[in-house]
Structure formats: C-alpha cells, structure tokens
Amino acid sequence: MAFPYLEAVLGFMISVYIFETYLDIRQHAAHKRPTLPKQLEGVVSQEKFEKARAYSLDKSHFHFVHEAVTIIMDTAILAFGLLPWLWKKSGDALVYMGLNAENEIIHTLSFLAGVMIWSQITDLPFSLYSTFVIEARHGFNKQTVWLFFRDMLKGILLSIVFGPPIVAAIIYIVNIGGPYLAIYLWGFMFLLSLLMMTIYPIIIAPLFNKFTPLPEGILREKIENLASSLKFPLKKLFVIDGSTRSSHSNAYMYGFFKNKRIVLYDTLIQQCANEEEIVAVIAHELGHWKLNHTMYSFIAVQEVWLVGQPCRPRGTLEHTVIPVQHLVSLGLNLISRAFEFQADAFGKKLGYATSLQAALVKLQEENLSAMNTDPWYSAYHYSHPPLVERLAALDESDKKTD
C-alpha cells in the first residue's frame, strides 16, 4: 500500500497552521500589554511605545486574516487536485499555440507561468493593503502606486529572464542524475547560489534602488578606519535610497574575497543620533564577517539541503517538503540569534557598547518594532533576539569584563 503523501501533507499543513496561530494569539496578547517591559522603562519613550503598539496590533490583525486565507487556498489546491488540473490545462494551452506539450521543459515552464500568475493575482490585494493602508497609516510607506506596480513588473520580468534557464537545468539534471541525482542537484544549487549572491547586489538590486557613494566626511572616515583596523577589504561604501519606498532602516555588506562593499540605507543615517551610533551598527555587521557567520550560515543551508534530498520523492512539489522547511527554518533561526549575540559582543569589544545600545534603541523606536514579545513566539519566529534580550546581553558582557 502506497504511503498517503497527500493526506500526510494536508494533515501537517493544518497542524502547523493551528500551532502557529496559537503562537500568533500569544504574540497578539503581548502586543496588547499597555506598559513597557521593565527593562525598557526610561529607555524607550512612551510616545514611541504607543505608536509601536498600535503598529504591531494592526500588523497582527492583518496577519490573522492573511494566514487564514492562505491555509484555505493551499488546502483547496491540494485537496481538489488543482495542481494536476493546472498541469493538464498548461499542456492544452501549448497544444492550442502549436507548441510541443510533450517537451518536459516547455510544459513545466507553461505550468510554472500559470502558478506565477495565480500567485500574483491572489497576493496582490494583500500586498496593496499592507503597503498603502497599514504601512501608510503608520508613516512608513513612501512609494507611489506607480512605483509599486513598476517594482512588481520588474520582478516578473526578472522571473521570465532567470526562471527558464534554471528550470531547464534542473529538469536536465533530474533526467540524467541517476543514483547521483542529489549530488548533482546540490552542486548546481550551490553554484547558482554563488552566482545569485554575486549578481544580485551588482545587477538586480540597482534596478530597484539607487546606490550612491557615501560622501566624504566624518562618517565615511570613521567607517573606513574601522574597516581598516579589522583588515576588512572595503572597496566601496554606498548609500541606498531606501526612503523612496519606506522609512524602515537597514545596513548590510556583500562581496567575495577582497572585494567587499558596505551599504547604508539613507534612513539609517537619518535616524541615528550621531556618527558613532552608525559606526556601532557597522561594527556589529563587521562582527558577522570577522566571526565567519555568513560562511557558516551558507554552509549550514547547503548541508541541510543536501541531507534532505534523499527524503524528497521524485515528482513531488514544494508542499511535500513543508515539514522539512519548518524544521530547517527553526534551526536556522536558533543559529541566527546566537550569531546576533556574538556580533553584539564583538561590537562591544571594539568599544561600541554604549553607542550600539543607543543605536538599537533608536532603530527599535524609529521602526516601531514590537516592544513586548511572547517568548514562545520569538523563539519560533525571530531570527534576531528581541531588544530586551540584546540590551541585557550587552549589560551582562559589561559586568563580566568589569
């Protein structure tokens, strides 16, 4: 008797939804608390707390609706066999256009085009509401409707450009892989990951944002001196116009070997009180580099992917690996949180403890991030520790060094 994959996947999907909804309810209750955590009293202003609380509750209400609609649609798609139906209809469409429906690559591309169209249509109302209602209501959205749809169109065009050759390569590898299929697929995905990590910041990201060199001045000098002291091979230092779309802030670095770049969101520069706070954020990011966190995370993802391949039955779709995806996500979040604590401690050792704490508080306030968090929810979902835990860890490291 064949293993009932469909029933197992449906059962797991619904079980995960129930469990995650329970965590969402716990987090929603945490958002409703009318007072700051004791550790943040006198640190975060009451005005910012009230704004953050309102923002978190709005997002939470929206999340409940979005997840409910998503589980209903996903369950219906599997239970009523809509994916096989779409596969047949995509083949019929190819025949109607005079194309060869027996060609596996062409048929798969036609099927995936249908999936993409369905995803765009069903996700569009939620994206519009999130961007132009929730984000706008709380002062974050800066983009126009035209810019929103232009970005969406660019994303679709990129899928059309990159999707077909990737899909064709995967199908070819599956057909010739034999007993070494998992190894060949892993090798291809490994090389593809390296390629995308290379071209995304250089070719793709500039299609959506403008990158300009950080002007000469005290901030640039301090960042370059910090990078030099750590022997970080900084080649370029950019500012990205994140404020054209949102007032949320960020900073990141990219590049291989001796060709590293650091990117600051213009909103980060605007929100931090002084150059020292911005440099403290960069010190944290350089801690990830110095401690090899990016490399370790990349290797961990590759190993998990490789180990999971023998468990994936040939011909199944994404839904059949949902159990593995959730376990992997949880494990990677645990690793990520540990890395964040280590990067904070690294910044502290460089003498940026006070500035880093001030920057973390400032970014928490300006991004209206949740002040009260449920421990179960954050342990399951958060890739970064809550602010209270990060501040406490920095204080603890101070006590250990005193």
Cα separation, 344 vs 284, whole angstroms? 6
Active site residue 344: yes
Q: Which of 135, 266, 277, 344 is catalytic?
A: 344
Classify burial at 135, counting beta carbons within 10 Å of its beta carbon; exposed 0-12, middle 13-18, buried 19 or more. buried
138 among the known binding-site residues?
no
Give the number of other CB atoms < 10 A from CB of residue 108: 17
Flag whether 224 is marked binding: no
Cβ(231)–Cβ(255) below 8 Å:
no
| Strands across the sheet containing 251-254 | 211-213, 234-240, 260-265, 251-254
The residue from 135, 277, 285, 366 that is catalytic is: 285
Q: Of 297, 371, 367, 285, which Cα lies nearest the Cα of 334?
A: 297
284 is in an annotated binding site: yes
Angle at 173 between CA 170 and CA 177, to 5 degrees: 145
139 Ramachandran zone, left/alpha/beta (phi>0; psi -120 to 50):
left
Active site residues per annotation: 285, 344
- Give the residue ranges of the annotated binding site: 284, 288, 340
- Give the residue ranges of the annotated binding site for Zn(2+): 284, 288, 340
